[in-house]
């Protein structure tokens, strides 16, 4: 019998083969997947680690942790921890791991998070304006939308790439919330659609895309967490160990580029990707999310004689 229930969309790991190439996981290695999500990359890495290898998965979203634990049940060397990845050093210390062979960061959202209407990440799904990856986090998107001043909202949208319409969107938000607070993704989407002239609604991006992305990045302090974590990740790598970072926003990619350059300047890092690696047309067609992915990788300098 053919089921008529629509198939739930699940996350497809981006640039999987390239990640494996740069991290080069080998039997017995210890690897941290600091954004374990739906464990697509983690499962592929674990297959290379053999029986003695270990993979520590981190995610701040408890639903992702449960999903990853289910997916990795068959791998003895896998453990998944719920935490912000900016605690990577403390997590490894607690697990008695002084140094690891590889670290992966695949920042941003998973398909499952985007698809869950109740999380409020998507303007295509009706839900509360929440957007917290960690549901215990202190700030929701509705707090920003209803409490920031017009100037702060405009600045936030502008900083995250909503150049042209930032002022109009901020003004429209203030007008709408003067009547009643904006509480749902649909309400915010309507405000944005009214603020942006109709002839600009049909470009490559929906007019609400950048506003939703800007709010999400601020709610989860995504740039701050990345900036704080990269130096820690480099510290926990053993000499010769490798790091790969996939980002989806130019501000994130800039943070990665600068952290790697600084490491190279200090002589502790060899950059393996002169330019960021992007998905090819085949992958973009199969998985449109990969369109904006940028992968950078580096290797920690080996000790003299290694």
Ligand X SMILES: C[S@@+](CC[C@H](N)C(=O)[O-])C[C@H]1O[C@@H](n2cnc3c(N)ncnc32)[C@H](O)[C@@H]1O
By CB under 6 A, name the binding residues for ligand X.
11, 13, 35, 37-41, 58-61, 64, 84-85, 106-110, 133, 225
Q: Tell the smallest beta-carbon distance from residue 26 to ligand X (Å).
A: 20
Q: Which is nearer to ligand X, 109 or 256 (CB)?
A: 109
Tokens for 154, please give them: 């405009």
Q: Where are the alpha helices (DSSP H) in 77-221?
A: 88-94, 111-115, 141-147, 150-159, 166-179, 185-195, 209-219
Of the candidates 116, 183, 98, 195, which has an alpha carbon nearest to the alpha carbon of residue 146?
A: 183
Q: Tell the smallest beta-carbon distance from residue 306 to ligand X (Å).
A: 29
Q: What is the DSSP letter of 272?
A: S
Q: Tell the smallest beta-carbon distance from residue 220 to ligand X (Å).
A: 6
Rounded Cα–Cα distance for residues 274 and 230 (Å): 18
Q: Which is nearer to ligand X, 106 or 130 (CB)?
A: 106
Q: Which is nearer to ligand X, 29 or 106 (CB)?
A: 106
Q: State which H helix or E strand residue 247 sits in.
A: strand 237-247
**Which residue, judged by CB position, is nearest to ligand X in the bound state?**
37
Which residues does residue 79 pair with via DSSP β-bridges, in sequence order?
56
Pair 82, 91: CB distance under 8 Å: no
Pair 39, 57: CB distance under 8 Å: yes
Q: Which is nearer to ligand X, 33 or 187 (CB)?
A: 33
Reduced to 3 states, what is the DSSP secondary structure of residue 146?
helix
Tokens for 63, please give them: 């639903």
Q: Which is nearer to ligand X, 39 or 56 (CB)?
A: 39
Q: Tell the smallest beta-carbon distance from residue 104 to ligand X (Å).
A: 7
**Residue 305: left if φ>0, alpha if ψ -120 to 50, beta else—which one?**
left
Q: Tell the smallest beta-carbon distance from residue 149 to ligand X (Å).
A: 27
Q: Which is nearer to ligand X, 168 or 291 (CB)?
A: 291
Q: Tell the smallest beta-carbon distance from residue 87 to ligand X (Å).
A: 8
Count CB atoms within 10 A of the CB of residue 6: 6
């Amino acid at each position: 019998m053919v089921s008529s229930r629509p198939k739930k969309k699940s996350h497809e790991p981006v640039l999987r083969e390239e990640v494996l190439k740069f991290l080069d996981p080998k039997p017995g290695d210890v690897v941290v997947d600091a954004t374990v999500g739906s464990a697509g990359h983690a499962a592929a890495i674990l297959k290379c680690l053999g029986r003695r290898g270990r993979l520590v998965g981190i995610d701040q979203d408890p639903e992702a942790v449960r999903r990853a634990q289910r997916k990795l049940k068959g791998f003895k060397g896998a453990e998944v921890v719920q935490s912000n990845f900016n605690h990577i050093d403390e997590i490894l210390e607690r697990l008695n791991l002084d140094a690891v062979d590889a670290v992966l960061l695949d920042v941003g959202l998973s398909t499952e998070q985007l698809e869950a209407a109740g999380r409020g990440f998507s303007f295509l799904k009706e839900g509360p304006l929440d957007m917290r990856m960690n549901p215990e986090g202190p700030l929701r998107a509705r707090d920003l939308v209803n409490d920031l001043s017009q100037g702060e909202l405009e600045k936030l949208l502008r900083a995250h790439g909503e150049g042209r319409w930032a002022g109009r969107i901020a003004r429209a938000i203030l007008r709408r919330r003067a009547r009643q607070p904006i509480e749902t993704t649909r309400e915010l989407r309507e405000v944005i659609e009214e603020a942006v002239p109709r002839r600009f609604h049909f470009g490559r991006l929906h007019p609400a895309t950048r506003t939703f992305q800007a709010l999400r990045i601020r709610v989860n302090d995504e740039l701050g967490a990345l900036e704080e974590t990269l130096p820690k990740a480099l510290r926990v790598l053993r000499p010769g160990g490798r790091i790969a970072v996939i980002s989806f926003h130019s501000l994130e990619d800039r943070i990665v580029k600068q952290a790697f350059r600084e490491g190279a300047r200090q002589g502790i890092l060899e950059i393996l990707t002169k330019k960021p690696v992007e998905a090819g047309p085949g992958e973009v067609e199969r998985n449109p999310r990969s369109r904006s992915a940028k992968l950078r990788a580096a290797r920690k300098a080996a000790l003299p004689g290694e």
